[in-house]
Amino acid sequence: MSKEAEIDMKDVELNELDPEKQPMTGDGQAAGVEKNGTVKLKVPVDELTFTGLSKEELMKVAGTPGWVRTRWALLVLFWLGWLGMLAGAIVIIVQAPRCKPIPEMNWWNEGPLYQISDLEAFSEGIEGVEAKLDDINKLKVKGLILGPLHVTQANRLPALNLQAIDPTLGTEKALAAVLEKAHKKGISVVLDLTPNYNGTLPWFNTGDVDVVMEKVTAAAKYWLNFKVDGIKVSDLTVATNSVDWSKLQAAFVINGTEAEKKRLLMGVVGKGTPAVEVSQLVNTTGVNLVLSDLLTSKKGGVERIMAIDTLHSQQRSLGWGLGAAQHDQLSKHAVTPALIRLYQLLLFTMPGTPVFTYGDEIGLQAVGDKSPKMVWDIEEEPAEGAAVNETVEAERKERIAIKKWFKSLSDLRAKERALLHGDYYPLVSSASSLSFVRVWDQSERYITAVNWGSADELLALKLPPTEGVELPETATVILSTDPDMKVDSTVSLDKITLKAGQAVLLQFPYLG
C-alpha cells in the first residue's frame, strides 16, 4: 500500500474513534467533503498572476479625454491651494504685531553687580575670592567689583601706588587666577581705583585732583592690559572736573576701536546728588554706569518714584543700591529680614543695574563701622546630638531663606525681558510705599508694590489711558513677603492691601 493510502486510512480511523468531531450536516455526507469537514482544493498557480497594463495600454488610457480633464483639474486645484496658503501667510505676517527690537545690552545690564570691598572680611584676601567663585556664580551675578586693592596710606599722596596690590591682600598671580576662573564662569571683574580710600577725601585735596587723575589713567591702562573688565572711581563729580578726564576715557579704547568685549568705566556719585544731576552726568561724562545713592538719601516713596521717573529712560547707564555707594551692607538700612527682602525685590525690578555688597544675599548684619565677616556654610546642619543654640539656629535658617529669595529674584530678572530692559510706568506712591509696572513688547508684564512703612496701605493700581498700556482687573502673585498673599493666587488691582513692611511682585500677560 502506498504512503498516501496509509495516511487516508489513518484519517478514517481517527474520525471513527472520535464521533463528536463529525460535522452536524444530517445523515448524508456532501460529495467531495472529508468526514472531518475539510475540503481539499487545488488552486492553479497561474490564476493568481497579475501582469498589469503594458506601457502601450497605459499610454492609450492616459490619453483619453476623461483622464486629461482630471489631470488638469487636479493641477489647477493644487496651485489654487498653494496660492491660498501663501496669501494667508502674508495676511498673518502683515496683521501680526511687530516685535520690538532688543536694545543694545552690555554685560553689566544683564545681571547684578556684587562688590567685595573688604577682601579680608569676605574670605581672607584675593585667593579666598577665587575659592568662593562657585558660590558667587550661583547668585547669577554678572560682575564682581573688587577692592580697592592698591597700596596707599590715608591722606598721603606720595604713598599712592595704584599699580601695586597691597601685599596683605594678595598678589598679581592670585588676581590673574581670579580673572581666569571668573571669565570661564561668565563673570566680569572690575577694580575699584578710588585713590584715597582710607582717607578723608577720595581724591585727596582739591588741588591734587589733576595729579591723581594722571595716576588713575596710568593704572587703568595697566589693569585693563592685565585683562580686568573695567574700573570704578568714586566722587564722579570731582573726577570729571579734572582736565585729564578725557585721557581716562581714552584708556578704554584700543587702537582707535572699542575692544571686542566692552570694558566698564563706572563712577559713583556722592550722597545727596539729585536725580537731575545724576542724569546730566550720565549724558555728559561718557561713563558707562553711574551708581547713585538716591534710594539711601531719599526716604519717602514719592521722592523715590520721582527719582526713578527722572532716570528710567537711562536705565542701561544707571546702577542702584541701598548703601552700596558707601560699601555698606543693605542690612544697615533695612533693619529687619522682611525689609531686606523688600529692598532686594525693589532693586531687582527697578529699571537699571542692581548693585549689592557682599553678604546682602544672606542679610549679613554689620556691627559698627567695621566690615562684617562673611558667613559661609549656612546650609550645614548642626551635628546630630550636639547642643543647639536656638537663637543661632533661627538666624541660620533665616539666612537660608533670604538667600533663596535673592536667588529667585536674580533668576527671574535674568530671563524676563520686562524686568531686564522693559519700559517703566509709575503707579501709586505715598510717604512709605511705591509701585510701578514693567512692560516689554509682547512679554509678560510685572508690577512691583512695596510698603516699608509701619501701617498697612490700600493700593488702587491704575494707569492713565494716555500711557498706552492697559492694566487688567487682576494679576497673579509671583513673589510675596506677605504669607497671606500666596504665590499663584489672583489679586484685584483696584484694591490691594499691602501690609506694613511687605512687598509683592505681580504678573499679568500681554493683552494684545
pLDDT one-digit tens code per residue, 448-479? 999 999 999 999 998 887 667 889 999 999 99
Strands 433-439 and 289-292 come out as unpaired
Structural contact between residues 470 and 463, judged by C-beta atoms closer than 8 angstroms: yes
* Percent over 90 (pLDDT), the chain: 71
- Helix or strand holding residue 79 (H, E): helix 65-95
Per CATH, domain 109-381+388-415 is 3.20.20.80: yes
What's the confidence (pLDDT) of residue 43? Answer: 52
Kindly state the average pLDDT of the residues 99-106.
83
Out of 4-8, 86-90, 462-466, 475-479, give the one with best mean pLDDT: 475-479
Predicted TM-score (pTM) of the model is 0.81
Q: What mean pLDDT is predicted for residues 188-208?
A: 94
Dist CA 111 CA 136 (whole Å): 13
Is pLDDT above 80 for 405? yes
CATH tag for 425-508 (out of 3.30.70.20, 2.60.40.1180, 1.10.600.10, 1.10.3720.10): 2.60.40.1180
The percent of residues in the chain predicted with pLDDT above 70, rounded, is: 87
Answer whether residue 14 shows pLDDT above 60.
no
Strands 188-192 and 143-146: parallel
Weakest-pLDDT range from 1-5, 188-192, 306-310, 416-420: 1-5
Q: How confident is the model at residue 6 (pLDDT cuts 50, 70, 90)?
A: very low
Q: What is the pLDDT of residues 229-284, one digit of tens each?
A: 999 999 999 999 999 999 999 998 866 444 467 899 999 998 889 999 999 999 99
Instruction: Please report the pLDDT score of residue 367 as a whole number.
Output: 81
- Looking at the chain, the domain(s) classified CATH 3.20.20.80 span 109-381+388-415
- Rounded mean pLDDT of 118-134? 96
At residue 12, does pLDDT exceed 70? no
Q: What is the mean pLDDT of residues 14-22?
A: 47
How far is 457 from 336, CA to CA, in rounded Å? 19
Distance CA 338, CA 454 (A): 12
Q: In this model, does residue 411 exceed pLDDT 80?
A: yes
Read off the pLDDT of residues 29-55 as tens digits, 9 standing for 90 and up: 444 444 455 555 555 555 556 566 677
Res 132 pLDDT > 50? yes
How many whole angstroms separate alpha carbon 200 and alpha carbon 194? 12
Residue 506 or residue 260, greater confidence: 506
pLDDT band at 24 (very low <50, low <70, confident <90, very high): very low
Averaged pLDDT for residues 418-444: 95
- pLDDT of residue 68 exceeding 90, the answer is no
Residue 303 has a pLDDT of: 95
Beta strands in 269-422 (DSSP E): 289-292, 318-320, 353-357
In whole angstroms, how far apart are CA 408 and each of 382, 414, 475? 26, 10, 19
CA dist., res. 99 & res. 510, Å (int): 13
Domain with CATH 2.60.40.1180 in the chain: 425-508
Average model confidence (pLDDT) across the chain: 88
Residue 10 has pLDDT above 70, yes or no: no
With 0-12 / 13-18 / 19 or more C-beta atoms within 10 angstroms meaning exposed / middle / buried, residue 147 is buried
**pLDDT tens-digit map of 333-389:** 999 999 999 999 999 999 999 999 999 999 999 887 889 999 998 988 888 878 888
Predicted local confidence at residue 61, as pLDDT: 73
Residue 15 pLDDT > 70? no
As a whole number of angstroms, the distance between CA 460 and CA 447 comes to: 12
